Structure 1
Amino acid sequence: MTVSVSPACSPRRTLTVCGGAHALHDGFTDLLNVLYPLLQAQFGLSYAAIGALKTVYSGAMASGQIPSGLLAVRLGPVRVLAAGTALIAVGYGLAGLSGSLYGVIAGLLLAGLGGSTQHPIGSSLVSAAYAGLRSRTALGTYNFTGDVGKVLLPALFAVVAAALGWQQALIIVGALAVLGAGIIMGSLRPIPLHDKAGETKSKAMAGQDRPWAYWLLFSIHIADDLVRTGFMIFLPFLLRDKGADLPTIGLGLSLLFAGGAAGKLVMGWVGDRLGVVTSVILTEVATTVLILTLLPMSLSGALVLLPAVGLMLNGTSSVLYGTIPEFVSPERRTHAFAIFYTGGSVAGATGPLLSGLLGDAVGLPIALASVACIALTTVPMVWALRPAFRDG
């Protein structure tokens, strides 16, 4: 299954609209990290319970990604992407209007299903719209836009929640999702999805199928996501323990995501010059060192360090996503992207729950140090990937 971009929809418009959708969806996902401490305070939740809430959202996102790709073939990717964005609004609106823990759980389930539409459809549209090696650059830009949303929406949510309460803040961001769905429908022309390879080989990077390399890349991605989601569960509580109030927690998350956004641009540049293997090893080792350095620091020192943590924590992902087209032929690419993002969502669903259980058992500092060390497991896997690039 692959994607054909209609001539009526230019590559630049495709990238702009898909990038905007990416910013909204990633922002909607990561503002939940501001919400979790508020829910813990209101409902008396443990770290494991917070992890379970994250599992509900990420699990719904994981289960919906491959079906979203299949549904897009029948209904069209623009309709499915817009409908998914609107479903996020329904989920957040339900959680905000109910104000109960069960309402929050149901809302996160719906919002996660809505969020499952964006990554496989958006990345496939972008990779099809840009030819040859331009595909990696375009995917890097698309990946970067997600962090723009991660910077802006959690900070906005924190300010609104501090002023009006978390329920009203969820309703307001739900209204933004409705606006986003309307923009998607109004800006993108209907774009067909096909199962035929010949229609897109001229447009997309003509990658060669290397299943072993793809699955090794997939495994690196899983480990990288386990570190990222585990760190994100604990960071708001770490900042709170250092004396941060709600707006400061929102600021800390925005600083982290701003560093992550810069990392996706910087590491794309570094990856082109140093190669995928060297750049990924650099980011993963640095991630472990920086998180361990963060633990004993004061609040002000932690806020200063967070952009660097974000740069290394998120810099790996652009390199990984942008490498998929090299290991997968065009006719298999949409399905490959869906599997890749589904794996990340499964890691995002299980990682927080496991991290939360670990945090309850051994305490936040030891649990966070353990999460940081998971990044080191990617080093031998990345090293084993070298022959795939030599063969290419």
Structure 2
Amino acid sequence: MRDRLHGKEESAFGLSYAELGFLMTVFFVVSGIGQAMAGFLVDRVGPQRVLSGGIGLLGVSALLLSQAQSYPVLLAGSLLAGLGNSVFHPADFTLLNRRVSAPRLGHAFSIHGISGNLGWAAAPVFLAGIAQVAGWRFALLAAACIPFAVLALLFACRGHLEGPPAVPVGPRPVQREGDGGHVLAFMRLPAVWMCFAFFLITALALGGIQSFSASALRELYGVSLPAATAGYTAYMLASAAGMVWGGFLASKTDRHDRTIAIAFAAAGAFALLIASGIVPAWMSLVLMGAVGFGAGVAGPSRDLLIRAAAPKNATGRVYGVVYSGLDIGLSLAPLMFGALMDASHPAAVFVGIGLFQCLAILSAVSVGTRSARTPPAAPA
């Protein structure tokens, strides 16, 4: 699909792959910086306003991109899209923490993650399908309709997003270090930066899978392009299924680091098995699904682990700073794994993916150990 879209862009603007790649770099850099800033804004003015503003920016960016006649306008559209994308994690997770009771949070985080996976899977089909029939500009116009429709839905359902927070279950927790004082006090907590490191590391693995897993499978096992693409599809679908099960697991335990450790250990082992090249080609596609399932199982526990590390009344700031590591990792991964592919080392791509997933276990266990020593924070 990337090649087809590149052909359409090239005929309109004469852009190279590097210039198109720079547009994505702008998007991720702005989104990463914006997430940290959006977290502070969420804690100050509320998550609903910030979420609505970000969705509106996404709609405006799609409109701008659909009418672009020059590369600077494309850059401006990417910048606006990055700003719009930056609000989701701090705003969404603050809303979920405020409006969902503690026993149901694991399931809520699971549904949140599944929705994102389904959106990532549907977007190429939606955009490429319309672009083939009516052109890429009309496809972007159609894409702009989605955020504006979501804005209307948020307005219609605003009563479910406003009001007092959900009543926590159990005894009221004591105030934690970093709860009060300066607005940046939470940044003194080692657990926050361990969560940031966890997201950075896991994003490096995810970026390798998204960018070059299909290409690496083709070179390593000699499978066709449709088969290699099916391997990535298996990863995404299995990841969504893993999130469903992960939601049930997360609701039954407070030691979310253990769930993450087991899930990522399995995923990392499967990735290293793919890298070995000793399995049949068809089995490599099955193992891609197994890697995705392990990563999906860890998802809800990952988000609850961050909640446990967040000081009271700093939920938005913590999620904003921590999730900025996701954008940083996704922006660095294509450079790292692309260099391995350029050097004709497809097996090293899966070795790197597996090692990053195993390395993430260390940061998750560290966060879980620190959080276990301190009572969990109440919903903001």
TM category (shorter chain) comes to 0.7 to 0.9
Could you say which residue in structure 1 is the equivalent of 2:55?
A: 85
TM-score, normalised by the number of residues in structure 2: 0.75
For 2:25 and 2:358, locate their aligned partners in 1 and report how far apart those are by CA, in whole Å.
24
RMSD between aligned residues = 3.7
* Runs of 5+ consecutive residues of structure 1 not aligned to the other structure: 1-33, 194-198
Q: Does residue 112 of structure 2 align to residue 142 of structure 1? A: yes
The 5-angstrom pairing of residues 124-163 of structure 1 reads: 124-163=94-133
Could you say which residue in structure 1 is the equivalent of 2:25?
A: 55
Task: Tell me if structure 1 keeps the 8 A contact 2:201–2:357.
Answer: yes
Equivalent in 203, 208, 229 of residue 225 of structure 1: 203
Could you say which residue in structure 2 is the equivalent of 1:374?
A: 356
- The count of corresponding residues between Structure 1 and Structure 2 is 350
CA 1:379–1:158: 2 relative to 1, 3 Å: same
For 1:292 and 1:123, locate their aligned partners in 2 and report how far apart those are by CA, in whole Å.
33
Equivalent in 237, 240, 259 of residue 238 of structure 2: 259
For 1:279 and 1:172, locate their aligned partners in 2 and report how far apart those are by CA, in whole Å.
40
For 1:97 and 1:298, locate their aligned partners in 2 and report how far apart those are by CA, in whole Å.
48
Could you say which residue in structure 1 is the equivalent of 2:265?
A: 285
Deviation at 1:282, TM superposition (A): 2.2
Deviation at 1:65, TM superposition (A): 1.8
For 1:251 and 1:178, locate their aligned partners in 2 and report how far apart those are by CA, in whole Å.
32
Q: Does residue 82 of structure 2 align to residue 115 of structure 1? A: no
Q: Secondary structure at the match of 2:225?
A: coil
Task: Tell me if structure 2 keeps the 8 A contact 1:281–1:382.
Answer: yes
1:242-294 superposed Cα distances (whole Å, 9 cap, x missing partner): 4336xx88765544322221111222334436942332222222223333444
Task: Tell me if structure 2 keeps the 8 A contact 1:35–1:166.
Answer: no
Could you say which residue in structure 2 is the equivalent of 1:19?
A: none
Task: Tell me if structure 2 keeps the 8 A contact 1:64–1:113.
Answer: yes
Deviation at 1:128, TM superposition (A): 0.9
Could you say which residue in structure 1 is the equivalent of 2:186?
A: none
Deviation at 1:95, TM superposition (A): 3.2
Whichever residue aligns with residue 120 of structure 1, its letter is P
Task: Tell me if structure 2 keeps the 8 A contact 1:259–1:310.
Answer: yes
Task: Tell me if structure 2 keeps the 8 A contact 1:224–1:375.
Answer: yes
Whichever residue aligns with residue 180 of structure 1, its letter is V
Q: Does residue 21 of structure 2 align to residue 39 of structure 1? A: no
Deviation at 1:131, TM superposition (A): 3.2
The 5-angstrom pairing of residues 1-392 of structure 1 reads: 35=2, 38-39=5-6, 42=10, 43-45=15-17, 52-72=22-42, 76-98=46-68, 102-189=72-159, 202-203=167-168, 206=173, 209=176, 211-235=189-213, 237-238=215-216, 242-244=223-225, 253-271=232-250, 272=252, 275-294=255-274, 303-385=285-367, 387-388=369-370, 390-391=372-373, 392=375
For 1:59 and 1:343, locate their aligned partners in 2 and report how far apart those are by CA, in whole Å.
11
Q: Secondary structure at the match of 2:313?
A: helix
Q: Which moves more between the two structures, 295-304 or 348-357?
A: 295-304
Q: Percent identity?
A: 21
Task: Tell me if structure 2 keeps the 8 A contact 1:55–1:352.
Answer: no
* Runs of 5+ consecutive residues of structure 2 not aligned to the other structure: 178-188, 376-380
For 1:280 and 1:112, locate their aligned partners in 2 and report how far apart those are by CA, in whole Å.
29
1:72-101 superposed Cα distances (whole Å, 9 cap, x missing partner): 466653333223112222323333443765
CA 1:252–1:330: 2 relative to 1, 3 Å: same
